[in-house]
């Protein structure tokens, strides 16, 4: 029997149950997996330990941190499970895109044309990726992120709720560096260096 697992029984995991049930085909069953919450129940579904995963099961990871998703993905791969790219029923996907394994596009999210997306990308509700963007592995978009065209986002970057990334150009894309964090509501008009956090409008490095 073909099954799909949501790995993560937190808020995002609960939010994904409805969209996945509405788009369950070609799977015959949905299971919830969470090592810390095994034995409990969410939304009427029992929560299982990782031991419930079988070889050949597909999985979607419900975790906001890219680093956490990488570790969780490895747990699943070690058990022979297969990363599933899930496009919610009310998401919209353009043409000419390259999308890595395990990508998650929640309801009301959108991807334009000719974008390159890495593995385990998470695009939360009402967020969009416009044309000609390049997004690395384990990148996270919180809800309502506006990512305009010709933006390059490196691995593990986190883009906060309501952030706006200005349009780049073919010869000079806007770059968000590896592991950078763009704060909630920030308006990014310049490149963001690797590993730093920017906040505000226009976005500036956060003072510690």
Read off the pLDDT of residues 103-158 as tens digits, 9 standing for 90 and up.
999 999 999 999 999 999 999 999 999 999 999 999 999 999 999 999 999 999 99
Token pair 């997306």 is found at 117
Q: Which stretch of DSSP H or E encloses residue 76?
A: helix 66-78
Model pTM? 0.95
Strand partners, 122: 104, 140
In the predicted model, what is the mean pLDDT of the chain?
97
| pLDDT digits 0-9 by tens, 29-62 | 999 999 999 999 999 999 999 999 999 999 999 9
Active-site residues: which are they? Answer: 131
The rounded percent of the chain whose pLDDT value lies above 90 is 98
DSSP output for 3-21: EEEEE--SHHHHHHHHHHH
Return the closest-CA partner of residue 127 out of 95, 72, 96, 165.
165
The count of other CB atoms within 10 Å of the CB of residue 89 is: 10
Domains and CATH numbers, the chain: 3-84 (3.40.50.20), 86-198 (2.160.10.10)
């Amino acid at each position: 029997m073909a099954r799909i697992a949501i790995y993560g029984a937190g808020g995002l995991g609960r939010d994904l149950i409805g969209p996945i049930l509405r788009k369950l085909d070609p799977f015959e069953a949905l299971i919830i997996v969470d090592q810390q919450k095994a034995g409990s129940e969410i939304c009427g579904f029992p929560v299982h330990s990782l031991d419930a995963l079988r070889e050949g099961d597909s999985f979607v990871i419900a975790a906001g941190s890219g680093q956490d998703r990488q570790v969780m993905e490895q747990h699943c791969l070690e058990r022979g499970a297969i990363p599933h790219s899930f496009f919610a029923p009310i998401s919209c996907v353009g043409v000419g895109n390259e999308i890595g394994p395990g990508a998650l596009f929640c309801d009301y999210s959108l991807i334009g044309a000719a974008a390159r997306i890495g593995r385990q990308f998470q695009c939360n509700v009402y967020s969009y990726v416009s044309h000609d963007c390049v997004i690395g592995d384990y990148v996270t978009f919180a809800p309502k992120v506006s990512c305009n065209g010709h933006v390059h986002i490196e691995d593990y970057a986190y883009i906060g709720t309501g952030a706006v990334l200005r349009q780049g150009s073919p010869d000079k894309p806007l770059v968000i560096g590896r592991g950078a964090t763009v704060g909630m509501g920030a308006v990014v008009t310049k490149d963001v260096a690797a590993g730093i956090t920017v906040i505000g409008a226009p976005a500036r490095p956060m003072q510690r």
